[in-house]
Amino acid sequence: MNERMPKPGWESVLHSLVAPFPLLPFAGLVKNAGKTTALNAVNNLFPEECIGLTSIGYDGEDNDAIYHHPKPPVSVHPGQLVLTAERFLPDGQEDYEIIESWGSHPQYGRWLILRVLATCSFRMAGPSTLSEIQKGLSRLKQHGATRLHIDGALNRLSHITLHETDDDTTDYGIVLSTGAALGNTFEEVIERTFHWIKLFQLPVYPWPQSQNYRDLLPALNDQCISSLSQQNAFLHDKTWCVLPSFLWQHDLEALIPAHVDTIALQGAFTDSIYLALRAVQRLPRQFVVRSPAHILLSRAILAGLMSRGITLQLLERPRIVMLTLNPWHPLTPISTDRMAEALLPHCTIPLVDIEQQQVWLP
């Protein structure tokens, strides 16, 4: 489907894509990908619901720090809740009321939850660690939020791993944003976008909640179940063994036996970890990582890993609800029609141009 819709039809399609997911992070593959524009559009779709909003780190600046072009503010509406830091309160105190405060950020002051009283713009600075985000989301829900929208920060996608909230049954998807700023040529933009889409399509490892998990791994114990999501570990002869953090700082040849089946990584999977394991001939049959956001391998290293027959699996695979397209580039803008034409034949994700109110369904 490649059809520019009138506004009523456009809003209906957009609503149908995001409504099933009450927890909705927004993440950009690059700065200036248009994620704040996407956030604002989705926030407008639920006037009868109480939306809780926050940001990963700082967002909502007036002008781009590098290219100095105007940036869209985060727009909020009466009845919505905002989790932000004290330093970034709007000037108009009549536009909001403070309903809770706690803690203190060393630069930004106390964390605040505000109830919006009038439509206004925000500069948001929210928590930057997963545990702080989870605490903030829980408090937003306690104050009545029925939907939670999270605006991401520059090149930080770790907030897509949110299965450890106080309500594990909450369905969540992710609105991913890409655009011409992802590369200097059309080919680079498409290649890098496909790279991320493929990471979100990796298979999911049989996580302990699966009914037959203990039958598959009879030697598994409670400590090692926890290690899969909280520590590095390796699986050898059906037994999980915990590994230290900062693997590249240790003698991997002594720590890890030869020919292990699986290495599970709690943090980021980087080139340095892969190359350190390869140097001492300790590459496993497969790696398990927490989420696509934790795979920070270069495309060359990832291709080399795959060529060796090593598989990658995820502990958690968030669903991409839609991929928004942004034509902006400081020198070489690319039309979203052209991007969509290249992506659609190999993509099962709805593609959306927020500003032009256009959607392409696979």
The better pLDDT of the pair 325, 88 is held by 325
Domain covering 2-200+320-360, topology: Rossmann fold (3.40.50)
Instruction: Give the separation between CA 355 and CA 41, rounded to whole angstroms.
Output: 9
- Boundaries of every domain in the chain: 2-200+320-360, 213-314
Q: Give me the pLDDT at residue 202, please.
A: 94
Percent of the chain whose pLDDT exceeds 90 = 57
Percent of the chain whose pLDDT exceeds 70 = 83
**Is residue 139 within 8 Å of 83, Cβ to Cβ?**
yes
The region that residue 113 occupies, defined by phi over 0 for left and psi between -120 and 50 for alpha, beta otherwise, is beta
Whether the model clears a pTM of 0.85, i.e. scores above it, the answer is: yes
How many residues belong to the chain? 362
pLDDT digits (tens, 9 = 90+) for 159-206: 555 554 444 445 788 999 999 999 999 999 999 999 999 999 999 988
- pLDDT surpasses 50 at 126: yes
DSSP tag of 204: B
DSSP string, 302-318: HHHHHHTT-EEEES---
- pLDDT surpasses 80 at 154: no
Q: Give me the pLDDT at residue 266, please.
A: 84
Instruction: Give the separation between CA 131 and CA 333, rounded to whole angstroms.
Output: 38
pLDDT class of 254 with cuts at 50, 70, 90? very high
pLDDT digits (tens, 9 = 90+) for 270-294: 999 999 999 999 999 999 998 888 8
Strands 81-85 and 96-105, by their bridges, are: unpaired
pLDDT class of 116 with cuts at 50, 70, 90? very high
